Amino acid sequence: MNSRIAVVTGGLGAIGLATCRALAQANFKVIAADLPASQSRWDDIQMSMKNLNIHFEPVDVGDFRQCTQFVQQVQSLHGPISVLVNNAGITRDAVLKKMEPHEWDAVIAVNLTSVFNLCRQVVDGMSERGYGRIVNISSIIGQTGQFGQSNYAAAKAGMHGFTMSLAREVARKGVTVNSVSPGYVKSAMTDAVPQDLRDQILASVPVGRIGQPEDIARAVAFLCAEDSGYITGINLPVNGGLFISF
């Protein structure tokens, strides 16, 4: 049987790349989607993944028209998309009284509107074929809030609201929709946090370590598995016990 096609947005970032690897190891044909400017990064890393079925396709996920063209291109070249992992994300941190409209708009576009842009393109095909897996990468910040991140927290909380609603729409059509909320994970975003603040964060994590991208990728691969079809509409926290809710 041919491998199912999985698309991972933000596919060349830390969590995205780990997710691409995990899905490829689970016998998916993976499309790592990222900004066109990421082509040079792909050129640098693709040789290290030559034994994995991973391909790069550029797209600006905040642009609806580009997303339409991207999905058409992927399905023309590779086949119908069975799995979509909405992982693309950015931060533009500022306290609200200093936050500029463009900082709000950019974060909402990449972190939240992109989920609509891509789900809108793939959900009908998944429903018609009677099979699909959508996983949206939210954040612990969407559950707890964070000083100076009202834009990011709003986007990530909104992502799970979207997840629950779409899950209800397509549950009887063989399509599951779930979100994963990472805690603090080693990435370019967390590496940019001042060291003293990173030390405080580490001290507050009950398991005693910061998360690794592979911790998130394993959770995503679980939700994308064919035999995970009875799990939909959930938010799966992967945060080392930093935030525990009922």
Do the Cβ atoms of 23 and 224 come closer than 8 Å?
Answer: yes
Residue 43's pLDDT band, with cuts at 50, 70 and 90, is: very high
pLDDT at 1 over 70: no
Q: In the sheet that 132-137 helps form, which strands lie side by side, from edge to edge? A: 54-58, 29-34, 5-9, 81-86, 132-137, 175-182, 235-238
Q: 145: closest CA among 133, 137, 131, 156?
A: 156
- In terms of Cβ atoms closer than 10 Å to its own Cβ (0-12, 13-18, 19+), residue 32 is buried
Question: Is the separation of the CB atoms in 94 and 102 below 8 Å?
Answer: no
**Sign of the CA dihedral running 114, 37, 149, 156:** positive
Worst-scoring range by mean pLDDT, 29-33, 48-52, 210-214? 48-52
Both tokens assigned to 13 = 């970032």
Alpha-carbon distances of 80 from 28, 126, 158, 180, rounded to whole Å: 12, 8, 27, 24
Catalytic residues: 152
Query: 70-124 pLDDT, tens per residue?
Result: 999 999 999 999 999 999 999 999 999 999 999 999 999 999 999 999 999 999 9
Residue pLDDT, tens place only, 211-237: 999 999 999 999 999 999 999 999 999
Query: In the structure encoding, which two tokens stand for residue 23, read together?
Result: 């899905």
Mean of the pLDDT values across residues 131-153? Answer: 97
Alpha carbon of 160 to those of 50, 97, 131, 182, 235: distances in Å?
Answer: 34, 26, 21, 13, 7
Instruction: Give the span between the Cα atoms of 21 and 51, in whole angstroms.
Output: 10
Its pTM stands at 0.95
Q: pLDDT at residue 27 above 90?
A: yes
Q: Which domains, and CATH codes, for the chain?
A: 5-234 (3.40.50.720)
